[in-house]
Amino acid sequence: MEFNVYAILVAAIVPLVLGFLWYSPVLFGNVWMRESGLTEEKIKNSNMLLIFGVSFVLSVLLAFFTIHQTGALGMIGGDPKAVDVLPSYQAFIDDYGTNFRTFKHGALHGLLAGLFIVLPVIGINGMFEQKSWKHILIGAGFWTVALTIMGAIICGWV
């Protein structure tokens, strides 16, 4: 099982591109700014190069999270070529290998991560930060869609 660096980099760009659309005035930008307490002036005075750079690096980390079958690699602690793998690991790879490495399956895993990890985390933080449910759902919705697309790219780009 090999990781495709190009798929990871393309998947890492997804939140930046999707964010451009999601947080634009055409979709949720105006509501998000109002619910966040942000102004055009505050956004213009921010260090966008730093924000986009760090966002990309963090998106690369998220892309690794959406890689399918990392649990199988975790059973042996890394690269199967570098260690003597147990017959059980080899049997698992022989049986399942790339069977579930499709865009559809990756999208499902991304969707599940969004619903069962991102939504609860953003929801809990948002409630303690006294954010509105509009704000919480805009953020959680964004990451659910982003992870769905990222999972599809990572898992389907075999």
**Domain hosting residue 45, numbered range:** 5-156
Structural domains of the chain, count: 1
Residue with the bigger pLDDT between 3 and 54: it is 54
Q: What is the pLDDT of residues 15-65, one digit of tens each?
A: 999 999 999 999 999 999 999 999 999 999 999 999 999 999 999 999 887
Q: Which of 106-110, 140-144, 154-158 shows the lowest mean pLDDT across its residues?
A: 154-158
The band of 88, judged by pLDDT with boundaries at 50, 70 and 90, is: confident
- Quickly list DSSP for 50-89: HHHHHHHHHHHHHHHHT-TTHHHHHHHTS-TTTS---HHH
